[in-house]
């Protein structure tokens, strides 16, 4: 059969609310043209993020009922720990309430002022946690990732020459660890090849620097390796995952992604001494080591979800349905980051409406228009999110790219929802010449994209 279907049937439904164009016009104005300020009930199709927004399976809900809420040593913890050890292979596991808590504990323990932490591309919370302890996060993405339209199969790869050069040039102790984000979220949800994971690991071992994987989308990355890398066609996703992690010394994980859960995360490694120090910090801010800021029921949902993410039918549907959205809008001429990523499609807003200058925020224009057109919520990843202000001149500097991300929640929307999103984007594309930019009328000093107020130009 050529038709690809959702590999599940629907047991519980959640109504979504239709709104009229007039209502949306008023709502987006009241939200100061910032889609983060819209109440979710006024959004029809919510593609703001794939983080914690997935639908759980019947088996996960059964796990929720089975959750053991004992303070110490609950059964749920042991089921969670066994699942993580089985798939990831690390000997010490620390549960946390989400990915950034794992990052904070890791970097507060291993990292200090003046150090440098290289990565293929740091996720924004990772970057912030490194900067918070006074160290410098450095991105070393592969050269192919620079051209948005280049359909290279592993655009998430680490730039190996740059990593080698950095480790050779710096004095001993300058780099406490190297991070590898799979898939590379900031780089458009692009995968990292097994060859690149191996080569990164080899460079790290040669320089005696631990390698940590930011594992949030490890199962999607495993699927891309199976699909695109020679020699892995017949290897099960779980074995690809085990091979990826065997190259690393530890990982941080947000279970809100490929943990298929609504909350949770963990930190894992093979370093016993380090784990002891990390657990002390965990107790201080997250909780006892057998629950780490989560309820027993959350640990159950993750223990089940990690395996579900590695089911071939699920990943096939996941990756193909994301690609379906990308291919259909690209076929209508909409410029997107190629090839389509695992969890999201990124529209190149600068090419979509070239008449809008970067500092007139074409990504904001596009998110507002998608909401106006059809009640679809996407997110700007451009100069509002990543622009900076030059400290000397006070001039605002644009970000390198003006993107709009359409992130696909796991197992939530069906193909007809996606067809609806395609139509909305194409409708906006057809009237792109008439679109105008925005200016910021109010913004906080930090993380302005969440709460800035805009006005149309
Ligand atoms: C979401 C994410 C994180 C942070 O996880 P939270 O659970 O949101 O704290 C870290 N790295 C990557 C690549 C992510 O996508």
Q: Ligand 1: distance of its center to the CA of 216 in Å?
A: 6
Q: What pLDDT does residue 140 have?
A: 96
Interatomic CA distance for residues 30 and 371, integer angstroms: 13
Q: Are 228 and 157 a contacting pair, CB within 8 Å?
A: no
Q: What pLDDT does residue 431 have?
A: 97
Q: What pLDDT does residue 187 have?
A: 66
Q: DSSP class of residue 268? A: E
Q: What pLDDT does residue 52 have?
A: 97
Residue whose CA is closest, atom 3 of ligand 1? 99
Q: Ligand 1: distance of its center to the CA of 84 in Å?
A: 17
Of 320, 233, 249, 234, the residue nearest 90 (C-alpha): 249
Does any ligand 1 atom lie closer than 6 A to the CB of residue 254? yes
**pTM of the full structure:** 0.94
Does any ligand 1 atom lie closer than 6 A to the CB of residue 343? no
Ramachandran angles phi, psi of 134, nearest 5°: 90, 10
Q: Are 47 and 390 a contacting pair, CB within 8 Å?
A: no
Which residues share a beta bridge with 92? 269
Q: Ligand 1: distance of its center to the CA of 60 in Å?
A: 21
The residue written with tokens 């900076």 in the block is 388
Q: DSSP class of residue 453? A: E
Does any ligand 1 atom lie closer than 6 A to the CB of residue 98? yes
Q: What is the CA radius of gyration of the chain?
A: 22
Mean pLDDT per block of 10 residues along the chain (457 residues) reads 90 95 97 97 97 97 97 97 98 97 96 96 91 94 88 94 96 95 84 98 97 98 97 98 98 98 98 96 94 97 98 95 96 95 95 97 98 97 86 86 96 96 98 97 87 95
Q: Are 368 and 388 a contacting pair, CB within 8 Å?
A: no
Per-residue buried b or exposed e for 220-245, using 16+ beta carbons within 10 Å of the residue's own CB: bbbbbbbeebeebeebebbebbbbbb
Domains of the chain: 21-50+311-456 (3.90.1150.10), 58-308 (3.40.640.10)
Please give the distance of CA 157 from its chain centroid, rounded to a whole number. 16
Q: Ligand 1: distance of its center to the CA of 96 in Å?
A: 12
Q: Best of 216, 260, 264, 407 to mutate for ligand 1, by most ligand atoms within 8 A of CB?
A: 216
Q: Encode 385-399 in three state secondary structure.
A: HHCEECCCCCCEECC
């Amino acid at each position: 059969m050529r038709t690809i279907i959702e590999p599940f049937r629907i047991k519980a439904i959640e109504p979504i609310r239709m709104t009229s164009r007039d209502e949306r016009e008023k709502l987006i104005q009241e939200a100061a043209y910032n889609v983060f300020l819209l109440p979710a009930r006024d959004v029809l199709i919510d593609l703001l993020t794939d983080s914690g927004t997935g639908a759980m399976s019947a088996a996960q809900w059964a796990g929720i009922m089975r959750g053991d809420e004992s303070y110490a040593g609950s059964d749920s913890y042991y089921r969670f720990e066994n699942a993580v050890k089985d798939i990831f292979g690390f000997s010490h596991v620390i549960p946390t309430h989400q990915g950034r808590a794992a990052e904070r504990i890791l970097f507060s323990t291993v990292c200090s002022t003046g150090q440098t932490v290289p990565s293929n591309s740091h996720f924004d919370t990772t970057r912030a946690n490194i900067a918070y302890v006074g160290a410098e996060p450095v991105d070393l993405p592969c050269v192919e990732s620079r051209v948005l339209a280049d359909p290279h199969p592993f655009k998430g790869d680490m730039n190996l020459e740059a990593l080698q050069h950095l480790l050779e040039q710096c004095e001993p102790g300058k780099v406490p660890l190297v991070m590898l984000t799979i898939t590379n979220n900031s780089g458009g949800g692009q995968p990292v090849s097994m060859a690149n994971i191996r080569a990164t690991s080899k460079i790290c071992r040669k320089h005696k620097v631990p390698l940590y994987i930011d594992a949030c989308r490890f199962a999607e990355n495993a699927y891309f390796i199976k699909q695109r890398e020679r020699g892995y066609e017949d290897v099960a996703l779980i074995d690809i995952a085990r091979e990826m992690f065997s190259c690393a010394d530890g990982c941080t994980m947000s279970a809100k992604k490929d943990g298929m859960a609504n909350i949770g995360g963990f930190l894992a490694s093979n370093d016993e001494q380090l784990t002891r120090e990390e657990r002390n910090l965990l107790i201080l801010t997250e909780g006892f080591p057998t629950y780490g800021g989560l309820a027993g029921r959350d640990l159950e949902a993750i223990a089940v979800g990690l395996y579900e993410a590695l089911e071939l039918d699920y990943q096939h549907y996941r990756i193909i349905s994301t690609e379906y959205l990308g291919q259909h809008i690209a076929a209508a001429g909409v410029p997107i980051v190629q090839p389509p990523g695992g969890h999201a499609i990124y529209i190149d807003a600068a090419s979509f409406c070239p008449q809008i200058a970067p500092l007139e925020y074409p990504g904001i224009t596009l998110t507002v228009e998608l909401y106006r057109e059809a009640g679809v919520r996407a997110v700007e990843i451009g100069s509002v999110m990543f622009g900076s202000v030059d400290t000397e001149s006070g001039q605002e500097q644009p970000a390198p790219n003006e993107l709009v991300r359409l992130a696909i929640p796991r197992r939530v929307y069906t193909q007809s929802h996606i067809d609806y999103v395609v139509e909305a984007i194409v409708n906006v594309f057809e009237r792109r010449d008439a679109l105008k930019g925005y200016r910021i009328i109010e913004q906080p000093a930090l993380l302005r994209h969440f709460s800035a107020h805009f006005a149309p130009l």
